[in-house]
A and B are shown apart, each in its own frame.
Chain A
Amino acid sequence: MLCEQCGERPATVHFTEIVQGQKSEYHLCEACAREKGQAAYEAMIGAFSVNQLLSGLLHLDPTATPRSDTPAPRCESCGLTFQQFAQVGRFGCPDCYQAFSRELGTLLKRVQSSDQHTGKIPRRRGGVIGARRELNRLRQEMHMRVVEERFEDAAQLRDRIRYLEQQIESQA
Chain B
Amino acid sequence: MSLSDFLSNATSKWLRDDGPDSDIVISSRVRIARNLTNRAFPMLATERDRQTLLDEVAAAVKHAGIQELGSFELLKMGDLTDVEKQVLVEKHLISPALLESPGGAVILRNDEEISVMVNEEDHLRLQCLLPGYQLDGAYQMVDRLDDALEETLDFSFDETKGYLTACPTNVGTGMRASVMMHLPALVLTGQIGRILSAVTHVGLAVRGIYGEGTDALGNLFQISNQITLGQSEEEIIGNLHGVARQIVDHERGARQYLLRDGKEQIEDRVCRSFGILAYARQIDSKEAMQRLSDVRLGIDLGIIKGVSANILKELMVATQPGFLQKYYGHEMSPAMRDVKRASLMRERLRMNDGE
Contacts and interface: CB of A to CB of B under 8 A. Distances in A.
B210 A20 contact: no
Contacts of A93: 39-41, 44
Contacts of B40: 77-78, 92-93
A120 interface: yes
Interface in A125-160: 125-126, 129, 132
A163 interface: no
Interface string B26-48: 00010101010111110110000
Nearest to B217: A14
Interface in B189-239: 196-197, 200-201, 203, 205-213, 216-217, 222, 224, 226-233, 235-236
A119 B208 contact: no
Contacts of A117: 158-163, 171-173, 229-230
Contacts, number: 218
Given A48-B31, A48-B121, A119-B232, A18 B213 contact: yes
B121 A49 contact: yes
Given A115-B161, A123-B147, A40 B210 contact: yes
With most chain B CB atoms within 10 A of its CB, the pick from A112, A124, A129 is A112
Contacts of A13: 210
A21 B200 CA distance: 5
Nearest to A20: B200
B205 A20 contact: yes
A66 to B, nearest CB: 18
Interface of B: 29, 31, 33, 35, 37-41, 43-44, 89, 92, 95-97, 99, 121, 125, 143, 146-147, 150-151, 154-173, 175-176, 178, 196-197, 200-201, 203, 205-213, 216-217, 222, 224, 226-233, 235-236, 284, 286, 334
